[in-house]
A and B are shown apart, each in its own frame.
Chain A
Amino acid sequence: MPLVRPGVRRLFDLMLRRRDVSRRDVDAEVALHIDLRVQQLVRQGLTPVDARMEAERRFGSQKVLQSLEQQAHWRDRRMSFSEWLDSVGQDIRYALRGLRREPAFTGFAIATLALGIGANAAMFGVVDRLLVRGPDHVRDPERLVRFTATLTRSGVGEVTHATLGYVMYDNLLKSGSPIFEGYAAYTSDGQFTLGRGRESRQIAGGAATADFFAILGVRAARGRFFLPDEDDTSNPQPVVVLGDALWRSQFNADPAILGKTVHINGDPLTVVGIAPRGFTGVQLNRVDAWIPMSLASKNVTDNWPRAWSAQWLYVIGRLKPGISLDAAGSEANRVYQVTYDGRPTWRFARARMGATPIHFTASGTESTEVSVAKWLVGVTLVVLLIACSNVANLLLSRAIRRRAEVGVRMALGAGRKRVARLFVTESLVIATLGGLAALAVATGIAMLVRKALLTNVEWTSSPVSLRVLTVSFVVTMIVGLLVGIAPAAQAARGSLHSAIQQGRAQGRRWRAGSWPTVLQAALTACLLIGAGLFVRSLHEARTMPLGFESDRILVVNIVFAGLSDATFEQYIANRARRNEAWRQALERLQRRPDIDKAALAVGSPFGNAFGVDLFVPGFDSIPKLEGGGPFISAVSADYFATVGTRLIRGRTFLPTEGAATERITIVNETMARTLWPQQDALTKCMRISADTMPCARVVGIVEDARRSNLREAPAMQYYIPLGQEVGFGGTVLMVRPRSTPSQFAPTATQAIYEVGAIVDRVQTWPLRERIDPLLRPWKLGATIFTMGGLLALVVAALGLYSVMSYSVAQRTHEMGVRIALGAKSQTIISMIVRQGMLLAAIGVAAGILVAILAGGRLESLLFNTSPRDVTIIGTAALVLIMSAAAASFWPALRAGRVDPIRALKSD
């Protein structure tokens, strides 16, 4: 047995021995030439020795010979390449001819692959944006880290978050740590108001320290980013850098805007630069304007640069090359421990600092979108797998159908390799056509994902970017080889004689594609179960009782025209004027027939939350609950009816109750249960703000309402009449219109402007808008799993249909015999359908097994849904098996209609 397999050696021949072959040819040719020349010269009268010398002289030196060999080698390579190219061209033409002859098969194969490849290309685009490429314009994003703090909260345990205080950034900066190149602090998910008065509009705003841009390695497209002087904590300069999109849409891309003044959040700021197109900082959401961190933070709290009481920004750092994330985290923690200068009793005294990759979220974890996106890549790969196995199956049965043709080809002298190459060429041609169609599919899916699912991401590249194209091309080629291997091997394997024989006998022994069908059914089952779980999660999340009716409520905020609160007297006077304006606004709205109810609130769901000191007779301290709190809200009379929070016992506030009347309060169920278990909370006493305050009597108990998230631990919450609040403020108007909140928004805005000049501008947002983003992960999962699941179902059903049709066509003879022997056509039909359903059932069983095993990993992404939900698994199984029955029914019908005489005669 030779050491090297012949095929492998041939490969080496092409690369190495070819040169020897060329040389041998040249040597033989030259030798003949010289010999003939010698004979010629001898005939002319020279001695044989002289003749040879003369002949060799005439031919030239050894060097000439070498250059001849070189040229011959080059010629051989060129000719063999063009020969190869010719044969490839022939193969492609042959493949195209064959595909044109079977348009149904071709169309199905191309469409299947287009869906599979297209879905993958689109998902690659999404993952590329979310995970791989990092934010635009950021140099080496993998060397950027986001710092986190891990705190121990009583009753909750350790909580990690990335929202930190400026003091932590400041301490890192002063530490001069050797493993970091630099640090920056930023926020980029805020809302700014651009312009003044009624013409003002909300824009996406960011704030950053001056070193932010240097650390990211980004330069302004025009002008510059802030200078360190402009971000001075004690004297910030009023400057702003505009985002490219805003500059184009709002300022007509006018370069003269540099140096001009725009109003942001009511302050006149000088435009110093325009950010490059698509620059979003280190997050992916759009940012329309960047202002210095010191300017943005000046109202956060007293002594904000050194305060430990407020955390409102993110701190990032750039690692020196080669430093690991762990090293970064422990170094940040080391610096933190030696620089902490707050009181030893504060929670931060025992905090730990760490570092996460830059794409992690504020809670120091990977965002749900990213986790879901990773699953989606899995889903689309499964769809691609199904598509491939389907097309491979089709090609395989086609190869078997063409045994006779292949046999004839081989008889005419085509080698096995040549035949195999024909089949691979054909599958590559199909894959390429599928890949081209996939670009349209990818564009469609990507548009959908961008518009409907990942709306908060600033997409800067087209859905089919160069990277997506490259990936699609590679996937297409792999798919082409993958689906071509089995038929090519099948075609090349069969011996000449048996090929012709079996071709005539229609390859009866071969049962077309049982296991690919089972595999497809299994994968489809997984996808359908996944779709079911996400749809259920979305439904659960959407319909979960929040303790208020989020769909019905419009929230309105008034920004007042510049009232100076310089002295305490001014502040008191202005507060009275503002409260009066709020009261008038409420009255104006309440008078309208197109609203149901309206109320004022200081502290509202998915808005501000406040806590003040609370003293309850019988308690040394108020029990701490996992959800935090107790939280306090001051609300006007109709508040509970407006937002739809149910009253459990007692009464709500009266319109007459306010600052001047008796202190009263309404508590939520959790508070009633926690403070007065097994007692009636009504008429109990609470002292709010200070223990010297008069008793606030509990007059009512209301249901719990969510404060800031869909999933949160219960917390104590109590309400007092508007006007009785001390030490907190920030009113909003809650409106319950008869129409939808977004339809009513312009009317509400108009009505409130009529209150007078004190109203500078009116902001409105449907309460739903604050909740919908929280639903996004489930929406994303439900949409993509459902799309993938349906796609897989259709592809798998069509696959089963073609397999069953093929099997029926092969077994015409058998059916003829059965019918001739007295089988009823119903019996035959049910036999075939049963076979189809059996294949599907085996697959479904396997799929359910996989789904149950993998379900645990999906659990954290679901909402109040068990990954082993029996209804969902059962429904998915039923849908699949019924689809299998439907897919086998038509082939079965054909089998039942076989004419026994014709079937038996034809064989």
Chain B
Amino acid sequence: MADALPVVKGTLDVLVLKALSWAPMHGFEVTTWLEDRSGGALDVEDSALYQAFYRLEARNMIAAEWGVTENNRKARYYRITSSGRAHLRAQTAQWIRYAETVSDILTAPAR
């Protein structure tokens, strides 16, 4: 995974919200979800992910609950809250516009 992309600062929160918008997951499930979705192209640091969880939880965008995995292990499951969903929508729209603008500039033919 030498050519994996580092996650751009500030986008990890949105990615986590996106993951959780599918279903409540525990930490490792979110990691694998992100790895699967990016086809291994995104290099998410494990500790950064948990920091993102705690940050989002403190800001009331996600909520956590202790549950049990299929293998009967105790795990902390995160789910997105309604304010998290709203944030995700707004951030997604903004991110797409930003990405389009930046790539327009970068790929525009020289005059």
Contacts and interface: CB of A to CB of B under 8 A. Distances in A.
Interface of A: 25-26, 28-30, 32-33, 35-37, 40, 58-60, 64-65, 67-68, 71-72, 74-75, 78-79, 82
Given A28-B76, A32-B75, A60 B55 contact: no
Interface string B57-86: 110100000000100011110000000000
B47 A68 contact: yes
A75 B76 contact: no
B32 interface: yes
Contact of B58 (A37, A59, A75): A75
Contacts of A32: 26-28, 69, 73-75
Range of interface residues on chain B?
20 to 34
B27 A33 contact: yes
A75 to B, nearest CB: 4
A75 B54 CA distance: 6
Nearest to B29: A36
Given A28-B76, A78-B58, 12 more contacts: A26-B50, A32-B27, A33-B31, A37-B46, A58-B45, A59-B46, A59-B47, A67-B51, A68-B50, A72-B54, A75-B54, A82-B60
B46 A33 contact: yes
B43 to A, nearest CB: 10
B73 A79 contact: no
7 contacts: A28-B74, A29-B50, A29-B76, A32-B69, A33-B46, A64-B47, A78-B58
A59 B51 CA distance: 12
A40 B74 contact: no
Nearest to A35: B73
B87 to A, nearest CB: 17
Contacts of B58: 74-75, 78-79
A82 B60 CA distance: 10
By Cβ-Cβ distance, the 7 closest A-B pairs, closest first, are A75-B58, A36-B28, A64-B47, A60-B47, A59-B46, A75-B54, A71-B54
A59 B48 CA distance: 9
Given A60-B45, A74-B58, A75-B57, A30 B50 contact: yes
A65 B57 contact: no
Contact of A79 (B31, B57, B74): B57
Given A32-B75, A75-B54, A65 B28 contact: no
A68 B57 CA distance: 13
Interface in B24-54: 26-28, 31-32, 45-47, 50-51, 54
Interface in B3-41: 26-28, 31-32
Nearest to A70: B54
Contact of A60 (B28, B32, B46, B60): B46
Contacts of A72: 54
A58 B32 CA distance: 14
Contacts of B45: 58, 60
A321 to B, nearest CB: 50
Contact of A58 (B46, B57, B69, B73): B46
B32 to A, nearest CB: 7
A25 B47 contact: no
Contact of A37 (B28, B54, B75): B28
Contacts of B57: 75, 79
Contact of B47 (A35, A36, A65, A74): A65
A75 B45 CA distance: 20
Contacts of A59: 46-47
A454 B32 CA distance: 81
A226 B32 CA distance: 86
A226 to B, nearest CB: 65
Contacts of B50: 26, 29-30, 33, 68
B28 A33 contact: yes
A82 B51 CA distance: 20
B24 to A, nearest CB: 15
A53 B58 CA distance: 32
A74 B57 CA distance: 11
B67 to A, nearest CB: 11
B63 to A, nearest CB: 9
Contact of A40 (B27, B32, B47): B32
Contacts of B32: 40
B18 to A, nearest CB: 20
Contacts of A36: 28
A29 B46 contact: no
A25 B31 CA distance: 19
Nearest to A82: B60
Which residue, of B50, B69, B73, has the highest number of chain A Cβ atoms within 10 A? B50
Contacts of A78: 58
Nearest to B69: A32
Nearest to A77: B58
Given A36-B28, A58-B46, A71 B51 contact: yes
Contacts of B27: 29, 32-33
Contacts of A68: 47, 50-51, 54
A71 B55 contact: yes
B41 to A, nearest CB: 17
A760 to B, nearest CB: 83
A68 B46 CA distance: 11
A64 B76 CA distance: 19
Contacts of B54: 68, 71-72, 74-75
A185 B73 CA distance: 88
Nearest to A30: B50
A41 to B, nearest CB: 12
A649 B28 CA distance: 119
Nearest to A55: B46
A35 B71 CA distance: 12
A28 B26 CA distance: 12
Nearest to B73: A32
Nearest to A28: B74
Contacts of A82: 60
A661 B37 CA distance: 131
B51 to A, nearest CB: 6
B15 to A, nearest CB: 17
A418 B75 CA distance: 31
Nearest to B56: A75
Contacts of A60: 45-47
A25 B51 contact: no
Contacts of B46: 33, 37, 58-60
A348 to B, nearest CB: 79
Nearest to B28: A36
B76 to A, nearest CB: 5
A54 to B, nearest CB: 11
Nearest to A63: B47
Interface centre among B28, B45, B54 (most CB of A within 10 A): B54
B11 to A, nearest CB: 19
A716 B13 CA distance: 100
Nearest to B58: A75
Contacts of A40: 32
Nearest to A72: B54
A26 B47 CA distance: 11
A78 B61 CA distance: 13
A423 B54 CA distance: 35
B85 to A, nearest CB: 19
Contacts of B60: 79, 82
Nearest to B74: A28
Contacts of A65: 47
A25 B66 CA distance: 9
A67 B48 CA distance: 10
Contacts of B76: 25, 28-29
A74 B53 CA distance: 13
B103 to A, nearest CB: 31
B75 to A, nearest CB: 5
A74 to B, nearest CB: 7
B26 to A, nearest CB: 7
A36 B58 CA distance: 26
Contacts of B74: 28, 32
Contacts of A37: 28, 31, 46
B66 to A, nearest CB: 8
Contacts of A26: 50
